[in-house]
A and B are shown apart, each in its own frame.
Chain A
Amino acid sequence: MAMETSFALILPVAFLAGKVSPALRNVVAVLAAAVSVLLVAVLYGQNLKLDYYALPFLGVELAMRTDALAWFFAIAVAAIGLLSIVFSLRYMQGRERLDFYYFAMLVVNAAMLGIVFSADLLSLFVFWEVMSWSTYLLISYRGGKAVAAGLKYMVMSIAGSCAMLLAIASLYATCGTLDLHGVAQGIAKASPGYSLFILLMFVLGFGIKNAIVPLHVWLPDAHSEAVSPFSAVLSSVLVRMGVYGLMLVMYGVLGEAGLARLKLGPVTFRHVLCWVAGVTILVPLLIAMLQDDAKRVVAWSSVGHGGYMLLGIAFGTALGVAGGLFHTLNYAVCVALLFLAVGAVEHRTGTRDLNELGGLMKRMPVTFVTALIAVCGLIGVPLTNGFVSKWFIYKTLITEGYPFLALVALIGTWATVLYGYKLIHNAFLGQLPSGYREVREVPFSMQLPMILLSLAVILFGVLPGIAVRAIGSAQASLGLKALESGLWALPPAVGELNTINILSGVIASLALVYVAFALATKARRVDQSDSYGAGSYVPMDRYQYSVNFYQRAHELIGPYVRDRVDEFYRWLVGKAEGFFEQARKMYSGNVNTYAAYIVIFLALLIILKLGGQI
């Protein structure tokens, strides 16, 4: 596509411009990101296909295409990419290697757009790899612990890519083509066992990106060590490329009929995926509750909410797939917002330790309000976007007869309430420590992305129909049944949900209550130190009362919700290192030993030869 090539040309320009002047670089970076938003936006509702390169020795045409599903993901990628680059302008100011930073940010953006617009598996894989390594560069940008986190990411990412490459090579051998439609036709004729193998390889590749338990261990480290604007991109759209990939492989390539064939007795692939998603919701969200690092809280929540999306798309029903895709969009908006807000707090206070912060609401009101809206969206408080998509998912689970999965999803929501409130409370509420008296609100260029994202949270919560229409055409483009929805009310056949009525109810009650409130005597504002302490005053700065916020729950559930998978991998790595360490001793550096190896090897060969003759 012309857009892609022009975009690719701009990328090095940002890097080179930085060599001329930082201001020019910033302008170029923002413009490049903004232009890609515009270019994606004009593609709405179009179905284009463009062969951009031929590989005669494979007989394969590399092509780009756009359809409703690709557009849905592309617009989220482009918009959040732009907002995070705008946020970076001031956040990153004064740091080193900024030319490199903006260059890598744009490469990541371009690679993600490339993934969603790919029309064949080889393009998909190439862009996937570009995304993977450029992500590594950005995760490790800060150095120190970030390099370790980046390596962990890289190792897992390579494992996933290998699995994908295996599947793609095997599909090429079977079908003789790499075009998505051609592969879909080819695999329909293959045996169920073979399609299961292909699907599992792709699930491995996409699942590592989407951080499905037990493939999630890279994510908490990577998200918390990356710089905040990139954490926002990473957890909102980059890891959700996994959701896009799964949608594509499950419904675009295998199709409903192909999926239905994959079963062992009464257990279908769908069942297994659902329960993996259930575990992915429950354990990480409970772990999130017990974290003290603000970014780790959000990172674990990212793992957990990936489970909701999987749960939605695992059901091929109109409501389920719509719920999964809608939640992908909603979560992207909320988590990008939350990472930016946490980044803003870190930018001004220099820490993200929830045991040290407090009372910032008074100093950073805009950051506080946007963070609160983001948390409400994550919880799914009515009138925020998360409410509608979670409702779709619960409704699907209950009507399809999976009450236990619905239970897991609902308990996950309560865990979200707990860690969400902890995040808000420990950073923004309570007493302001005297060390933060002089903290100022972040500059407007950092506020703007947060304000826009919070408006999106409310907009999709009150008028979910806007997004559901785009999702409906994405469903139709995969040959699935599309969800019909009004702008704010669902048809009665689907379920009882009318966001405008809820909105009017809330506004009317608030107005009623406010009238009573205003009629009573006006209140006098008191200082934070002027509070009731049962006869003794509450000393300033003497103790941090938000430490161990959920200690009683921690005592009870802490031992059960450890990240055992990570521990297992560490154990495996330790054992493997020990083994290789032993194996290394073979190379003693002594010529006599090597001569002995040669003799023993020859002796072995002779014995084998003799053994063959007997």
Chain B
Amino acid sequence: MLTRIALILALPVVGFLVAVLFMGLSRKITARIQRRYGPPLYQPIIDVVKLLTQKENISHGILFDLGILLGLAGAFVTIVFIPAGGIQPLSTSGDFLVVLYLMLLSPLGVALAAGASENPNASIGVSRKFILALGYEVPFLMAALAVMTRFGTTSLVQIVSSQQGSVLDWGALALPLPALATFLVLPAMLGIRPFDFAAAPQEIASGPMVELGGKYLGFAAIQGALHTYIVVALFVDLFLGGAANMLTFFAKMLAVFFVGVCINAVLPRFRVGQALRYLWKWPTILAFVGLVIAALRRG
């Protein structure tokens, strides 16, 4: 019981550290690709500490505060339900479907805070974010259902344990098309280029985050980092076989994240309509065919 509680408490902390490390890495990698030196690896920690200790904070009301709190809390809760390299403290309390729904809490909190921030840029950003979500959820849900159909379960722990044999058991090889489709929509799920129009800094002043400063911006930054952790960890659990220990798990996550950062560093930004057309074309076709195959093999 005690170890279980310790694990439940440890997982968000580990997730937080990994997420912050990833942020630092992404800046470094992007800088190297663009032939710059880049900030030190621990720069995100400095940034967050600076933001949290800032002397001046402004708020647009209770919902503005609550939305930011819910956004961060939602990310922490989601992390506890995702198996991370053999650690799965709350897996019997919620399956993949629960995780899919818990992943709604953060965007909802951010969207409510953005709506409460009384700034047109924030509203435009949220509207773009939700259109993007509608875009990538179609292929992603197809792929997720293909995984659940293939392994005949909705439990993430069982999905991971079904892939524990050799590399050939991995979801990526058992379900190549849904894996590829999910990989293609990963940048959209992470909100990085070419799909960063929801929080475009130059166009709409960072969209939902336009009114955030000080501790609010700090919380939003942590939430963004945790979101990256959640999406990449889910990808590893679904398609790369999860892992037996945390070290392997994080190595796999790092590999996925590295590719994402490389894409982010070199591509320009889509417009909203372009992104929707892209997401509903190739990734959707691939995921659909994959789901048909998975359904036929089961039926």
Contact = CB atoms under 8 A, between A and B. Distances in A.
A407 B287 CA distance: 12
B contact patch SS: helix
A contact patch SS: helix
Contacts of A387: 101
B154 A398 contact: yes
Interface residues of B, number: 83
A401 B130 contact: no
B5 to A, nearest CB: 11
Nearest to A399: B154
B227 interface: no
A44 interface: no
B98 A406 contact: no
B17 interface: no
B92 A492 contact: yes
B119 A362 contact: no
Nearest to A368: B63
Contact of B61 (A362, A403, A407, A497): A362
B219 A414 contact: no
A546 B123 CA distance: 7
A430 B111 CA distance: 11
Contact of B205 (A359, A501, A534, A555): A534
B118 A528 contact: yes
A531 B211 contact: yes
Interface string A347-384: 00000000000010110000000001000100111100
A411 B141 contact: yes
A65 interface: no
B299 A401 contact: yes
A520 B216 CA distance: 10
Contacts of A505: 77, 80-81, 90
B230 to A, nearest CB: 13
A391 interface: yes
Q: Which of A521, A545, A552, A555 has the most CB of B within 10 A?
A: A552
A365 B93 CA distance: 34
Given A407-B141, A502-B77, A532 B104 contact: no
Interface in A483-541: 489, 492, 495-498, 501-502, 505-506, 509-510, 512-514, 516-517, 520-526, 528, 530-534, 538
A534 B210 CA distance: 10
Q: Which of B76, B97, B105 has the most CB of A within 10 A?
A: B97
Nearest to B298: A401
A410 interface: yes
Interface stretch (A298-306, A327-335, A417-425): A417-425
Given A398-B154, A401-B298, A497-B98, A382 B105 contact: yes
Given A521-B54, A521-B56, A523-B58, A552 B131 contact: yes
Contacts of B97: 391, 394-395
Interface string B215-256: 110110000000000000000000000000000000000000
A394 to B, nearest CB: 5
Contacts of B299: 401
Given A382-B98, A498-B93, A528-B118, A506 B137 contact: no
Nearest to B116: A429
A294 to B, nearest CB: 16
B36 interface: no
A376 B131 CA distance: 19
Interface residues of A, number: 72
B12 interface: yes
Contacts of A514: 69
Given A391-B97, A417-B133, A545-B124, A517 B215 contact: yes
Contacts of B102: 382, 502
A553 B134 contact: yes
A516 B120 CA distance: 29
Contacts of A530: 58
Contacts of A414: 133-134, 137
B123 A545 contact: yes
Given A414-B134, A425-B123, A552-B276, A498 B59 contact: no
Contacts of B74: 506, 509
Interface string B132-155: 011001100110011011000011
A492 B154 CA distance: 12
A556 interface: yes
Given A401-B299, A528-B60, A497 B73 contact: no
Contact of A556 (B130, B149, B277): B277
B91 interface: yes
Nearest to B51: A520
A244 B253 CA distance: 49
Interface in B169-187: none
A431 B94 contact: no
A429 B101 CA distance: 23
B115 A403 contact: no
A287 to B, nearest CB: 14
B265 interface: no
Contact of B59 (A362, A513, A524): A524
A550 B94 contact: no
A517 B72 CA distance: 11
A505 B90 CA distance: 10
B214 interface: yes
Interface of A: 359, 361-362, 372, 376, 379-382, 387, 391, 394-395, 398-399, 401, 403-404, 406-407, 410-411, 414-415, 417-418, 421, 424-425, 428-431, 489, 492, 495-498, 501-502, 505-506, 509-510, 512-514, 516-517, 520-526, 528, 530-534, 538, 545-546, 549-550, 552-553, 555-556
4 closest A-B pairs by beta carbon, nearest first, are A429-B115, A523-B59, A498-B93, A509-B73
20 contacts: A372-B112, A376-B108, A391-B98, A391-B101, A395-B154, A401-B298, A404-B291, A411-B138, A497-B93, A513-B72, A520-B54, A523-B214, A524-B57, A531-B211, A532-B121, A534-B121, A550-B130, A550-B131, A553-B134, A556-B277
Given A404-B295, A407-B291, A496-B91, 6 more contacts: A425-B123, A430-B120, A505-B90, A521-B214, A526-B58, A556-B273
